[in-house]
Structure 1
Amino acid sequence: MTGARRLRPYALVGGRTHAEANLSMESMVVASGVQPGDDIGPEQLELLEQCRTPQSLVDLSAGLDVPLGVIRVLLGDLLAYGLITHSGAVEAPAAVPAHRDITLLGELLDGIEAL
C-alpha cells in the first residue's frame, strides 16, 4: 500500500485490532463487483484492486507489505460493506487425542525398525 508505509499500522485501522468477520489467514477473498461508496479509504480501494482475483489474507499481507492483523481488519470492513466475499476459514486439523495407546506406538516402532 503506497501510503501504508508512511502510516503506522494502527493508524490504517483507526486503532482497531479485531475484525468483525471471522477471517483466517488462509481464507480466500475476492471482490464482489459491487461499486464502493465514497466512504472507502485508499487502503481499502487498493485491497479491492488486489482482490479482483481470489487472494488469501496471507498473500495480500505479504504482497502489500502490511501486517496480517491490519489486512484482516480492513477486509472485515470490506466484507461488512458487501464489497468482497470469502470462502471461509480452512478447517483446523482434528485434535490429537490426549491419551496414546503405547502398544500402537510400539508396533509402529517395530515396523519402522523392520524397514
Structure 2
Amino acid sequence: MRPYAMTRGRTAPRIDLAVEALVSSATVQNSDASLYTPEYQAISVLCRQVRSVAEISALLRIPLGVIRVVIADMAEEGLVILHQPQLNAGTPELGLLERVLIGLRRL
C-alpha cells in the first residue's frame, strides 16, 4: 500500500508527536481488532511493550512521517497512549546543572 493511502493524503500529524515519544497500547473495551487497518493492528501488537515512534517506524518499515500520522490518529481514537518527552524550552534545570558541577569538581 502506498504511504499516502495509509494517511489519507495527510503529511503531518494532527498532534505534535516527537520521534522519541514513547507509545504503548491502550486497553480498549468492546473493541473488534479485525475492524482496524493492518497498520493499526501491527502497531497495537508492537506497542504491547513500550516503544518509540522511531522504533515502530523501523520495525514496520513504514516511513517516519507516515507512522507519525498513523500513531497520532490512533492516539486520538484512544487506541494507544503517548508518553511525550517533557521539554523545558531547551534549558536544563538549574538543580541538575549544579549537581553535575559538584560531581565534576569531585573528580
- TM-score normalised by length of structure 1: 0.68
Counterpart-to-counterpart distance in 2, 1:28 and 1:52:
12
Give the 3-state SS of the residue equivalent to 1:58 in structure 2.
Answer: helix
Contact 1:57 1:71 in 2 (8 A): yes
Q: Using the alignment, how far apart are the partners of 2:26 and 2:45 within structure 1?
A: 11
TM-superposed CA distance for 1:20, in Å, is 1.4
Partner residue in 1 for 2:19: 25
**2-structure distance, mates of 1:39, 1:14:** 17
The one-letter code of the counterpart of 1:60 is I
Which entry has the higher C-alpha Rg, 1 or 2?
1
Equivalent AA in structure 2 for residue 93 of structure 1? G
Matches within 5 A, 1:77-88: 77-88=73-84
Identity %, equivalent residues? 35
Question: What code does the residue aligned with 1:80 have?
Answer: E
* Count of equivalent residues: 89
Query: Amino acid of the residue matched to residue 26 of structure 1?
Result: E
Map Cα deviations across residues 14-63 of structure 1 (whole Å, 9 max, x no partner): 11111112210000010011154565211111111111110100001111
Which residue number corresponds to residue 55 of structure 1? 51
Could you tell me which amino acid in structure 2 is paired with residue 94 of structure 1? T
- Indicate yes or no: 2:12 matched with 1:15: no
Q: Which runs of 5+ in 2 are unaligned?
A: 93-107
Q: CA deviation at 1:93?
A: 3.3
* C-alpha separation in 2, matches of 1:21 and 1:73: 9
2:39 equivalent in structure 1? 43
Shift of 1:89: 3.2
| Coordinate RMSD, CA, aligned | 2.0
Check conservation: 1:17, 1:70, Cα contact below 8 A: yes
Secondary structure of residue in 1 paired with 2:70: helix
For the residues of structure 2 that align with 1:42 and 1:73, how far apart are their CA atoms? 15
